[in-house]
Structure 1
Amino acid sequence: MSDSKVLVLVGSLRAASVNRQLAELATESAPAGVALELFDRLGELPFYNEDIDKSEEDGGVPEPVAALREVAGHADAALIVTPEYNGSIPGVLKNAIDWLSRPFGDGALKDKPLAVVGAALGQYGGVWAHDETRKSFGLAGPRVVEDLDLSIPAASLDGKHPRESTEVAARLREIVGKLAAEIG
């Protein structure tokens, strides 16, 4: 049996972000038979604009968009790892959702299982952003697995890499395993 392929998107562009570290940890600790692929080009996506979202006959979409849609199309599931910016979804992630939702009703992640996790400042660890991300992706086509969640108050990590928390590492591994089990 081939590996299950899980697309990983990180809602922070910062190289040293805790959410990027969580994505690394998920990749390192994925259960056997599950391969995670981080798409690390969200910062290259132009803002969604239907005028440039053209069919191949019209010259195609910008290359970073085509690359995102291609990797999403080949994925069996998606793991979104995101902080919370001003109580909501980071703009770069919302933009990716918009590109992935097209063509509407038949986007690259249509009906594929998706989970949202992450860390943020504040005592709730980004719950608002995670809820909004689930809502937006739910409208965009993936099958959001609501009970696979992890919202970590960044301060609880005490400046350490998430891999240094056995609880966080175990929970993240469990989430990735359960997400892979949702692949149908």
Structure 2
Amino acid sequence: MSVRILGIAGSLREGSFNGRLLTAASYELPRGMELHRWGGLGLVPPFDEDAEDGPEPGGVAELRRAIAEAAGLLIATPEYNGSIPGQLKNALDWASRPYGEGVLNGKPVAVVGASNGVHGAAWAQEELRKVLKIAGAEVLDGTLPVGRVARQLDEDDRLLDHDLRRNMRAHLHGLRDHIRLRAYA
């Protein structure tokens, strides 16, 4: 049985480093795991509690459906001003509602991040982990910061550094194992 995870890149930019990092992750997936990318971040309108009782905006419905259908999530975040991008936070706010019953509740999530800086979006990853935990997700321990990312990816978006590839594989194995344990609980 294949384990289907959803990959979300926290950047709206076409060809973003974090979108490319999801591609790099796809090369390191454990056998029996599939990564499906969701690219609708720009379609999610600003979160508005007044809109919760009305018809669900299209981008929100698509986001919730994609998360609900996935066994787990892999989120790759850039770092903007020391934190996560506003559009990613906005999408997570929608996915967390209604509080305690949102599609993130109980969902296994692994966090990675890339930047051209030395620290590889480390602060953003910690912020993202905090937001996800408060939203009720089961966030895996640890992060995977990929600093100076432009030097870390080849023309096919494979990670060049052996240690980074090994760490990505370990991160993905951890997500798969968490999903399997949760299925048997």
Q: So what's the TM-score if we normalise by structure 1?
A: 0.89
What does residue 95 of structure 1 align with?
90
1:181 deviates by 0.6
Query: Identity over aligned residues, as a percent?
Result: 39
Give, as a single letter, the amino acid of the residue that structure 2 aligns with 1:117. V
Shift of the 155–78 alpha-carbon distance from structure 1 to 2, 3 Å rule, reads closer
**How many pairs does the alignment contain?**
178
Does the aligned pair in 1 maintain the 2:140–2:174 contact within 8 Å? Answer: no
1:91 deviates by 0.8
For residues 33-182 of structure 1, the aligned pairs below 5 Å read: 33-54=32-53, 58=54, 60-147=55-142, 149-154=143-148, 157=151, 160-161=154-155, 162-167=157-162, 168-182=164-178
Give, as a single letter, the amino acid of the residue that structure 2 aligns with 1:181. D
Q: So what's the TM-score if we normalise by structure 2?
A: 0.89
Does the aligned pair in 2 maintain the 1:18–1:154 contact within 8 Å? Answer: no
Structure 2 CA distance for aligned equivalents of residues 159 and 178 of structure 1: 23
Structure 1 CA distance for aligned equivalents of residues 24 and 75 of structure 2: 13
Structure 1 CA distance for aligned equivalents of residues 158 and 50 of structure 2: 43
* Unmatched runs of 5 consecutive residues or more in structure 2: none
Residues 13-55 of structure 1 deviation map (CA, whole Å, 9 limit, x = unaligned): 111211111111222331211111111000110011111123x
Structure 1 CA distance for aligned equivalents of residues 152 and 133 of structure 2: 33
The CA RMSD over aligned residues, in Å, is 1.7
* Unmatched runs of 5 consecutive residues or more in structure 1: none
SS at match of 2:92: helix
Does the aligned pair in 2 maintain the 1:53–1:61 contact within 8 Å? Answer: yes
1:130 deviates by 0.5
What does residue 20 of structure 2 align with?
21
